[in-house]
Structure 1
Amino acid sequence: MSPVQQALTYKYPRVFWIMCLGAMSFFLSFNIILPELAQELRSKGGAAYVGWIIPAFSFSALIARPFSGWITDNLGRRWAMIGGCLFCIIAGCFYPLVTTAMGFLIVRAIHGFSTGFTPTGFTAFTADVVAESHRGRAMGWQGMFNNLGTTIGYAVGAIIALYFGVNILYYTSAALASLAWLLFMSLPETRTKSNRKEFVFNINNLFYFPAWRPSFIMFLVCISLGSILTVMADFTLEMGYTNKGLFLSIYIGVSLLFRLLSGRVSDALGRAWSTAIGTAAQVLSMAILVYMSICLEHSHQTHCNTCELPGLIWFASSAILYGIGQGFNAPSLFAWASDTADNHHRGRALAMLFMLLELGIISGGLTANYFIQGTSWNYVGIFALSGSAFFIALGFSLYCLRYKHQK
């Protein structure tokens, strides 16, 4: 049977689809509240700390990663999945109770532990239950469900808050996390029986070095994600668009479409081929944003009323290219990290990948603060830095192709 025929006839296990539904509900649970968090923090007197909404969440996730890898490998995939859901449920119930900015950020940090545990567990579960020859496509499906949860969350969160109030939104988040918990509880444990190892803080528990190549690329491509989450809403408004989530909506939608295609490319040609395609698309995306930023800066400096800013075609093209890049990069990097480890060490390999993901987001979000000019952002510097990171990731992917440091 040819590879094409095998791809068409392969049947994913039923438990894989249950896991995907649980992952979608999990991502929906913590993304549904994102549109309202900045305003909520301002209402509690924390306007000066709005920039810490993303880092507070990501720092906690980063702290949890080494533990999640150990739990996934030694206690089981389900323990990691359901443990993260419990943090989501607790946070969703406590958000309505806090009345100060500090209390809000503490709950936000508690919430961040959820993504430190659950994704490590269900990504290892996917690698366990799907044949290696279809792992890239499976990661694509998993990523598609994750993105569906994210997209739906962005779309309906503000609507729920508008018509029912923000407290109902928080309780909805907790209910969705509870649904994910129930779905994950119904899954079988796939961890291979082995002698449990006591968790010890050392370099080998923090990092699984065979997975350093996909982890390094993950760090580079997530720098821009941290920057975009920080500044894109303001940039969108300055470009004349009232929908602050326009860029995010376009890129996530495009990413959904390309994840399944990228999985096939990853399985057929190799992981580094897929990341090379993805990072090349994102280099072009950042180049367009730099051009648009230069035009915007010129308009501000000259107070030119007749100068036209680049239109929606330029803006949408950048978002589309960014989405193509995300669609190719994410499934391939998760599959690549899974390829580097056997069943006993897969949790640690994925934990390392997620740690570098969080470090990239944190780095991008915090370094964006160095590109402030008065009361506005230096968008040229921010997007140029992100483009440079993508260019390095592209070069490293090509290096891995040249020397066959990949599947």
Structure 2
Amino acid sequence: MSETRSILKSRNFQLCFWSFFFLWISFDFFILFPLFILRKGGNAVDVGFQEAIFFFPSVLIRPIAGWCCDHIGRLKTLWTGSLMMILTGFSFLLLKGNYSEIHWWISLILFLRGAGFAAFYTAFFTYAADLSIPENRSRVIGLFGLSGLVGHGLAPLIGQNVLDRYQFSGFFLTSACLSLLSLIISGFLTEKKLFEPQQRNGFQIAKTVTLTTRNIIILPASFIFGYVVSSFNTFGAAYFELTGKAQVGYFFLVYGMTAGLVRILLGGLADRFPRQLLVILFFFLQAGGLCFIVLQPVEHFYLITAALAGTAHGILFPTMTAMAIDAHPQEYRGMVTSVFTGMMDVGFSLGSYIQGHIVALTSYSFMFLSTGLVGFLFVVYVVVLRVLRFDSGHLSIHTKEEPNSTI
């Protein structure tokens, strides 16, 4: 406990925490981006398509970002991603006209923004993992992620207020400036290389940490997590605006605050209890919580979804991150983080695209219910593996780590 406390009080942890906090608010402003597409004349299919465009490079470039983290450095990768977030935020200010006239420019900017996201996200969480030790990895990563959860809760509310007062020009300007503030803070971080990477090409390393039975739970879990979250992240704003009686800002505020509170109180569960059991329990909670969003009247139930899904998020992300990192050689930490989070983005990207078509063909309610069903089916999958006593390698294979020299 004293070692964990010293990590949390360290200069690098504090700088990393606040840098990620402001960058994540900037990033999560774009939960409201579907409104930009809809108000420019696009539809639900267009929303899903553009979200897929954003996450496609995020997935494609993620292994490259992991290789860069391991071979070039966490901070150089982090700064590159942050800079791309700044430039793309400002670029949206140049777009004029209706959706049909600017949709390819939107796609190009979102493509570049997705590349920046891949870089900074991989770098931040690899850097946070470097600050931890095996005995407190889930706890440290979880509390670092609290910055993103609080930002996730505040961003839509702040973004909605900015949008109402200053339209989308103020919206994009504010997002870009928040990214700039994050980059300035991260400029004071320091880094020391903990592991000397083996001289192997990136493809071989990616293959090593991907095509293994150790990932038979964690990679599907990452995919399903991204798929379920995409439903309300991508279509929540449009759905709540359609109902006219629910506020997307309050939804994500409750979501983020609940996840953060759970992370503070229970963030070390994955360091003390079987991680497969936690995956089963909290994926069930996430899927079940999503079903409340379709109950009528919406304004009486949508915050229940936010609280339940937020609780699940608070435990699942640090649990899955610890499972992924501890199951592979530590000199590949950047690549492991990139593959794990990249699979999450595959789920988010395909989810946005598929769910957009489901909405266009049926309704928002059917889309949310079918997404919840996907979550329940994954729970059954993990239960079957556990009944068969399949060891996915979720237990640590820690290599001997040197002292925590980055603090």
Deviations 1:171-210 (A, max 9, x none): 3222222222233232222432345544458962783644
**Separation of aligned partners in 2, 1:30 and 1:318:** 22
Alignment of 1:2-401 (within 5 A): 11-12=7-8, 13-35=10-32, 37-42=33-38, 46=42, 49-99=46-96, 100-191=102-193, 192-194=195-197, 197-200=200-203, 204=207, 207=210, 209=212, 210-237=214-241, 241-289=245-293, 292=295, 309-310=296-297, 312-372=299-359, 377=363, 379-380=365-366, 382-398=367-383, 399-400=385-386
- Return the TM-score normalized by structure 2: 0.84
Note if contact 1:56-1:108 (Cα within 8 Å) is conserved in structure 2: yes
Deviations 1:344-394 (A, max 9, x none): 1011111111111011112221222342466x51623x2343223222332
Report the alpha carbon displacement of residue 235 of structure 1 after superposing the two structures with TM. 4.0
**Separation of aligned partners in 1, 2:292 and 2:169:** 40
The gaps in structure 2 that reach 5 residues or longer are 97-101, 396-407
- Return the TM-score normalized by structure 1: 0.84
**AA in 2 matched with 1:231:** F
Note if contact 2:154-2:252 (Cα within 8 Å) is conserved in structure 1: no
**Separation of aligned partners in 2, 1:44 and 1:283:** 33
**Separation of aligned partners in 1, 2:246 and 2:374:** 29
SS of 2:189's equivalent in the other structure is: coil
Note if contact 1:278-1:325 (Cα within 8 Å) is conserved in structure 2: yes
Note if contact 2:151-2:256 (Cα within 8 Å) is conserved in structure 1: no
The structure-2 alpha-carbon separation of the partners of 1:260 and 1:396, relative to structure 1 and needing over 3 Å to count, comes to farther
**Separation of aligned partners in 2, 1:93 and 1:182:** 17
The structure-2 alpha-carbon separation of the partners of 1:236 and 1:28, relative to structure 1 and needing over 3 Å to count, comes to closer
Note if contact 2:239-2:364 (Cα within 8 Å) is conserved in structure 1: no
**AA in 2 matched with 1:392:** L
Note if contact 1:128-1:190 (Cα within 8 Å) is conserved in structure 2: no
Report the alpha carbon displacement of residue 135 of structure 1 after superposing the two structures with TM. 1.0
**Separation of aligned partners in 2, 1:6 and 1:95:** 46
SS of 2:22's equivalent in the other structure is: helix
**Separation of aligned partners in 1, 2:72 and 2:264:** 31
The structure-2 alpha-carbon separation of the partners of 1:218 and 1:395, relative to structure 1 and needing over 3 Å to count, comes to same
Q: Name 1:299's counterpart in structure 2.
A: none
**Separation of aligned partners in 1, 2:386 and 2:66:** 26
- Percent identity for Structure 1 against Structure 2: 19
**Separation of aligned partners in 2, 1:350 and 1:342:** 12
* Aligned residues between the structures: 383
**Separation of aligned partners in 1, 2:143 and 2:220:** 23
The gaps in structure 1 that reach 5 residues or longer are 293-308
Note if contact 2:139-2:268 (Cα within 8 Å) is conserved in structure 1: yes
Deviations 1:150-190 (A, max 9, x none): 22221112322333443333232222222222332322224
**Separation of aligned partners in 2, 1:341 and 1:39:** 41
The structure-2 alpha-carbon separation of the partners of 1:131 and 1:81, relative to structure 1 and needing over 3 Å to count, comes to same
The structure-2 alpha-carbon separation of the partners of 1:163 and 1:323, relative to structure 1 and needing over 3 Å to count, comes to same
The structure-2 alpha-carbon separation of the partners of 1:94 and 1:372, relative to structure 1 and needing over 3 Å to count, comes to closer
Deviations 1:64-118 (A, max 9, x none): 1111111111111112211111110110221111332321221122111121111
Deviations 1:279-314 (A, max 9, x none): 121232244446x3xxxxxxxxxxxxxxxx356554
The structure-2 alpha-carbon separation of the partners of 1:206 and 1:179, relative to structure 1 and needing over 3 Å to count, comes to farther
**Separation of aligned partners in 2, 1:9 and 1:20:** 15
Deviations 1:17-36 (A, max 9, x none): 2111111111112222442x
Note if contact 1:211-1:353 (Cα within 8 Å) is conserved in structure 2: no
Deviations 1:189-235 (A, max 9, x none): 24323455444589627836444532211111221222223433454
